[in-house]
Chain A
Amino acid sequence: MNGTVVKNQLIFDFASGILGPAKSIFASTYLQLNSSASRLSNTFEGILGDNLMNNVDIAPKSLKYSDCINNDTIKAEHPVKDPITSFFGDLNNLNWKQVYKGFNEFTASIEDKDELKLIKMDPGVSVPLHSHGGKEYILVLEGSFRDEYGEYSKGDIQINDQKIKHTPIASKDTGCVCLSITEKDVIFFGKYGSFLNLFTFIKSFFKQK
């Protein structure tokens, strides 16, 4: 799979406003941390802005400009927190769930078909070789990790699909915190593979309830 195409698709979809809640949070964070992604998004929004500029006119029937000046439902305050903090709060105070030693996750409660998760890996911890049932998007928030395909640090994004099997390892010095989107559960291979697959299988039952 061409990762660049999927990354850019995410940015274009964000700019057009068609992402679900989970991917929308993910994309906002990506744009905040990655300046080249943010530039691409600005450019694309500029193109869509030109579309608005040249759009046809369908005049509102009863709306006057004075209705907009005297509308006090819109408040002037500005948001001051970044996407992650305003959504999750302080990451240190989260109720992290340990999946196994050195690997913790926190799943956001959002109504969406995609699952949004925070993943925290201690320095040097690795994830057993696995592939993915659906697409998985990983964005590094702090620290870094590497796998068979390269090294990923703050603001980098990795997109995995069925074809990719990999063994991510968190940096020995910093560990890493990542934001992830999973479209479907992952499939594990190797020593603990069958156990972990059983675990995800059982987990999916609880989710359906």
Chain B
Amino acid sequence: MEKAHLTNLMKKIQKDRDELAFSEIFDFFAPKVNAYFIQNNIKFESSEELTQEVLSTVWVKSNLYEPEKSALSTWIFTIARNKKIDFYRKNSKIDFREEDIRDFLYQDKEVDPVEESETNKQIEQINNQLNEQQKIMIKMNFFENKSHKKIAEELEIPLGTVKSRIRHILKNVQKMLV
């Protein structure tokens, strides 16, 4: 699925509350979001509930999405991540939700088109420069939130190597962002 196509579907939802466009977005993202929760150690039943919350948010708060600012996948990722945070806190009995605060960061900000295209270029550049193993490590560490120990076990490399490689990747990412 093309990013541009997904953005167009989203624009149809924003403009016309187009349910058909939403069903296409749902079909594409629901299985990926559901997988994200399972990768983050959330059991199947809960993952499905959370997936429903994420996709409902996409529909209900569709006008919060700014196509000039980020890819649709980025926006949906941040919604899923926020649901994950709240789920973990609820389960560890921490009575603290600041979803509003996290949402605040994505609203009403002036978009500087030059800066935004700069950001998109940087993302592409970083993706091009990372090799396959580095990409896998970023995914395991920051997307699936696996511990360094778990990563070492799964990739069958020493723990020290995992730590130093991740540090190296982050350093390079920072360099590319300067």
Contact = CB atoms under 8 A, between A and B. Distances in A.
A and B: partners?
Answer: yes
Interface of A: 4-5, 8-9, 12, 15-18, 21, 24-25, 28, 31-32, 38-40, 42-53, 55-63, 65, 67-69, 71, 73-76, 78-83, 86-87, 110-112
A40 B81 CA distance: 17
B84 to A, nearest CB: 5
Contacts of B142: 12, 15-16, 44, 48
B165 interface: no
A58 B43 CA distance: 12
B159 interface: no
B151 to A, nearest CB: 14
A4 B177 CA distance: 13
Given A68-B56, A73-B56, A24 B170 contact: no
B170 A8 contact: yes
A17 B85 contact: yes
Contacts of A43: 119, 122-123, 126, 177
Contacts of B34: 58-60
Contacts, number: 196
Contacts of A48: 74, 77, 81, 142-143
A39 to B, nearest CB: 6
A23 B29 CA distance: 30
Interface in B45-103: 47-48, 51-53, 55-61, 64, 69-71, 73-78, 80-82, 84-85, 89, 94-96, 98, 100-103
B162 interface: no
A195 B48 CA distance: 55
Nearest to B83: A17
A52 B80 contact: yes
Given A57-B32, A58-B31, A83 B138 contact: no
B63 to A, nearest CB: 8
B105 A32 contact: yes
Given A28-B102, A47-B127, A47-B138, A61 B48 contact: yes
Interface string B115-153: 100011011001100000000001101110100000000
B167 to A, nearest CB: 8
A49 B76 contact: yes
B27 interface: yes
Given A12-B142, A40-B177, A58-B34, A47 B123 contact: yes
A57 B27 CA distance: 10
Contact of B26 (A4, A47, A65): A65
Nearest to B40: A17
A52 B74 CA distance: 8
A5 B172 CA distance: 11
Contacts of A9: 170
A60 B30 contact: yes
A46 B3 CA distance: 12
B57 A74 contact: yes
B77 A52 contact: yes
Nearest to A46: B123
Nearest to A38: B105
A32 B42 CA distance: 30
